[in-house]
Structure 1
Amino acid sequence: MITLTGNTLTLKEIYHVLFEGEQVQASAESMENVKVSRKSVEKIVSNNEVVYGITTGFGKMSDVWIDQSQVEALQLNLIRSHACGVGEPFPEIVSRAMLLLRTNALLKGYSGVRVEVINLLIDCINSGIHPIVPQQGSLGASGDLAPLSHLALVLIGEGEAYYKGKRVSGEEALERENLTPLVLSAKEGLALINGTQAMTAMGVVAYLEAEKLAYQSELVAAMTLEGLRGITDAFEEEIHQARGYPEQVGVAQRIRMYIKQSRLSTKQGEVRVQDAYSLRCIPQVHGATWQALNYVKEKLEIEINAATDNPLIFDYGNKVISGGNFHGQPIAIAMDLLSIAIAELANISERRIERMVNPQLNDLPAFLSADPGVESGAMILQYAAASLVSENKTLAHPSSVDSIPSSANQEDHVSMGTIGSRHAYQVIQNTRNVLAIEWFCAMQAVEFRGVERMAQRTRKAFDRGRGIAPSITGDRVFAKDIEKLSQDLKEANWLGILIEQ
């Protein structure tokens, strides 16, 4: 059971909730904070105070006064009118993350919602009711309005949800778990949608996959080193300590461990004096990706415990401040950086693939074919990798540098962070497929060299891969092999092989 406090949620705990089905609960202290902030909202309404989003309209209509008799209609209309997302839904796991992160944010006690809102959010998480949320339609300020409105629809018994593997109406999902839909009260609709939880949820899922992929890329690269009889001197600790980047030092250390006692790798001068950059500079390039990943992780760890709606309630309700914590720029820049960093893993991987299949660059059979000429072997696998790498270059164009004013120019600078997070996730999927291709080619290359001469850990990776994709004994539909290898990279537990920090 994970206890949410609004302040202490970790990426590790999120992983347990998302991928292991861990249940959640709210801490007693956080629920008391929720009650205190709620009292202040009720006081504002009863005293006819002018406070944005509670007794006024939204955005450019913030100067429109809302009578007490209309505060519930105001919140309901907000959710319905703002639920205008389009496109394919976010993956179900991302929807689950949105619920978790929005719950945690509201538990900070700055938002003014009733405990009933918190309880229903937690019930949805624990019952596996995951709102269907279209991916497109958010500007990333004022928060993720459109996506989170689709999430809120389910809480009021509308919209659609994933439930027990099926797509059902929000009303049916709640009914099957004997849960009562919310009747939104003052500020609650605004509190549910005015935040960065769509981009952050997508970002968290992307980061968790990216971190695993970055470790896997090093092991796959080590196998390629063996397949190409790479020179190990370039990974000696002195070289990397001399530059000083801890991440670069770490990559080199792990590569050394992966190829420890390999009889396929070589020393300077045994076969050649220097390797190409795609082999020799693995620590420098992969290390730079780790630097970016560390930055992304730091920002996500802050954002998952952040109060991002507006207005926020402080000092036991004596101070209500309208600000801009819903602006997604910190996450937008982090997601753009994540795209660039992971795209580079694909870039350098594709170059290693080329070195294995190109007969002008190695002494292996042309295109790793069992019968070069009659059969094409891995020729078009490199084409596929090149295509994915090219697509990544487009996806890695930063979303955060764009802004289009909205709400009659009241909201005149927005982050586009949700677009950035979606692009980062797609870059990760593309990169995983490129690494699956490299893994497949590396297995074929080391087979020509002699698998009995491999290092212990790379041999484990080889044996694992061969249990999924057999040797190239003749041309076949290689798409099936790549799909299976990529699926294993994504879903399987690699902890028995990987050397993690």
Structure 2
Amino acid sequence: MNTILIDGNSLTLKALALIARDNYKVELANEAKKKVEKSRAIVDDIVENEKTIYGITTGFGKFANVSISKEDCKTLQRNLIISHACGTGNNLPTESVRAIMLLRANALSKGFSGIRLSTLETLIEMLNKGVHPIIPEKGSLGASGDLAPLAHMVLPMIGEGEAEYKGEVMPGKKAMELAGISLVELVAKEGLALINGTQVMTGVGALTVYDAIELLKVSDIAAALSLEALTGITDAFDNRLDMLRPHQGQINTSKNILSLVNGSNLTTRQGELRVQDAYALRCIPQVHGASKDAINYVKERVEIEINSVTDNPIVLENGDVISGGNFHGQPMALSFDFLGIALSEIANISERRLERLVNGQLSNGLPAFLTEQGGLNSGFMITQYAAASLVSENKVLAHPASVDSIPSSANQEDHVSMGTIAARKARQILENAKRVLATELMAACQAVDFREGAKLGEGTSIAYKTIREKVDYIKEDKVMYKELDKVTDMITSGEIVKNVESDEKVNIII
């Protein structure tokens, strides 16, 4: 059985993806169990002695000054969940819900949240048995954590809300019963411990980062194929230039391109056909490289966040309970805005290369719109339109969410991050960028077929063959979206990158 141990400190992006997408099981480390129990004992003492501590024996937000009796603590926690579950919009996909559940469990396993071990184990059991709460995607301000969506995550645990179980959406209580999982009666601090965190924005954003790393590899493959199809000049990728401006992403991109096109008879040298190429070819290292550096930065932030304590108040090991701001999503909000911008630029330059491929005045001898009988056939004409529309949409989506803030809870919570919006936008930008790159890949393969006697490079030849196994040369007009769907699916599955990297001579570095 594929099982991953969690302890709050060592979760990786790869492990998160395996649990979210491949249904790997989760097990709580023994040391984590001890820490959770120790933290809970501190909360029990607070309740028993009726000490005034925010969120344990007081109300929430603006009601922080309202004392709650020991007898009312259970009611307080249940009311917190049912009142805060007011999300709206489309439901988050199952993989995002699983990532959210995992990240909340991992944060709680650090032992600073005061939750009972049995409650944490119920959340893990739901994850392992495939009880996936229905979580609407909208409704979080990204400070005081992702309160509304995380409340939806908790609803099935208390017999409320809805959940997906074995592919069917049903009442949460029924899903728990069918899976053989006991319902939870929340006690002091537990409701707050479950919903006061950044796990929705981080779950959605972390999967996007994971996919973005792979998409950047695809972007170099697409660029290399276009470089060959357009008889591009390789001098611009000379390592001596990169070392004069040694950004790592730029250095890596140049290495990737030269490795991919090595052995090609389509690329040229400076002065052979022309002195220099347009920016969309010549500046691939600078543009792709900048996005790589940005995404590697975001990856570092995410790896910190997925192993952090992000709720409030925090129960320290010495018994101190401190009300702070670790729930505030600003570190993720800025990071996911940056992620969206970086991915937008990858799509931007890809669409410009696509335009050069289909434009007979810019393609260095290729037929207009990559079709044999232009006029009777439109060829790839409208594929560029569709790509341009996605690029334009990305420009709107790339507007940062993190610069906005709306006061809430009667101005007690007067600055919020909007980080969950940033994460969702970055995800949509990634999907749009993926389609643009699929279009460039398909057009570049079509263009190569017009180059008589073409010999592709060591890496690009593998990419070309991989695509041609499912998408044929287009001699006459056909329903294009179906062909584009095939290439898009190949990017999503990782098939193109995997095949290219199977060649020991080709190493794509991010």
Instruction: Indicate conservation of the 8 Å contact 1:263/1:454, yes or no.
Output: yes
Secondary structure of 2:498's aligned partner: coil
For 1:500, the aligned partner's letter is I
CA distance in 2, matches of 1:142, 1:445: 53
Instruction: For residues 45-104 of structure 1, give each alpha carbon's deviation from its aligned partner in whole angstroms, at most 9, with x where no partner exists.
Output: 110110101110000011111111110010001000000000001111000000100000
**Separation (CA, whole Å) in 2 of partners of 1:237 and 1:18:** 39
Partner of 1:372: 374
Q: Find 1:500's aligned residue among 484, 488, 508.
A: 508
**Which whole-Å CA distance do the structure 1 matches of 2:75 and 2:453 have between them?**
70
Q: Are the counterparts in 2 of residues 220 and 439 from structure 1 also a CA contact under 8 Å?
A: yes
Matches within 5 A, 1:192-231: 192-231=194-233
Deviation at 1:303, TM superposition (A): 0.3
Q: Which residue of 1 aligns with 2:320?
A: 319
Partner residue, 1:183: 185
2 CA distance for matches of 1:281 and 1:450? 27
For residues 231-271 of structure 1, give each alpha carbon's deviation from its aligned partner in whole angstroms, at most 9, with x where no partner exists. Answer: 11111111111111111101100111000000111111121
Tell me if 1:331 matches 2:332.
yes
Rounded to whole Å, the distance in 2 between the matches of 1:450 and 1:191 is: 65
Unaligned 5+ residue runs, structure 2?
Answer: 502-506
Superimposed CA distance per residue, residues 14-68 of structure 1 (whole angstroms, 9 cap, x where no aligned partner): 1221233221111111110000110111111110110101110000011111111
**In structure 1, which of residues 286, 297, 300 is the aligned counterpart of residue 299 of structure 2?**
297
Q: 1:162 to 1:451 in 2, by over 3 A?
A: farther
Aligned partners of 1:451 and 1:98: how far apart in 2?
Answer: 52
SS at match of 1:472: coil
How far the C-alpha of 1:452 sits from its partner, in A, is: 4.7
How far is the alpha carbon of 1:450 from its aligned partner? 4.0
What corresponds to 1:238 in structure 2? 240
- Do 1:85 and 1:147's aligned partners in 2 also have CA atoms closer than 8 Å? yes
Match of 1:280 among 270, 279, 282: 282
Once the two structures are superposed, the pairs formed by residues 66-465 of structure 1 within 5 Å of their partners are: 66-316=68-318, 318-362=319-363, 363-450=365-452, 452-465=454-467
**Most deviating of 357-366 and 490-499:** 490-499
CA displacement at 1:480 relative to structure 2 = 1.1
* Percent of aligned positions that are identical: 51
Deviation at 1:456, TM superposition (A): 2.5
The worse-fitting range, judged by mean Cα deviation, of 411-420 and 241-250 is 241-250
- The letter of the residue matching 1:319 is D
Matched residues in 1 for 2:471 and 2:499: separation?
A: 20
Cα root mean square deviation, aligned: 1.0
What SS does structure 2 have at the residue aligned with 1:251?
helix
Deviates more, 1:491-500 or 1:228-237: 491-500
Deviation at 1:451, TM superposition (A): 6.9
Specify the SS of the correspondent of 1:262: coil
* One-letter amino acid of the structure 1 residue matched with residue 169 of structure 2: R
Conservation of the 8 A alpha-carbon contact between 1:370 and 1:472: no
Cα gap change, 1:451/1:293 in structure 2, threshold over 3 Å: closer, same or farther? farther
Contact in 2 for aligned 1:451/1:459 (Cα 8 Å): no
Question: Cα offset for 1:457?
Answer: 1.7
Structure 1 range deviating more: 79-88 or 172-181 = 172-181
2:289 is paired with a residue of what secondary structure? helix
SS at match of 1:411: coil
Match of 2:504 in 1: none
Displacement after TM superposition at 1:10 (Å):
1.2
CA-CA distance at 1:309 after TM superposition: 0.5
Code of the aligned partner of 1:32? K
- Distance (whole Å) between structure 1 residues aligned to residue 508 and residue 71 of structure 2: 58
Q: State how far apart, in whole Å, the 1-side matches of 2:190 and 2:225 are.
A: 54
User: 2:241, 2:166 → 1: CA distance?
Assistant: 53
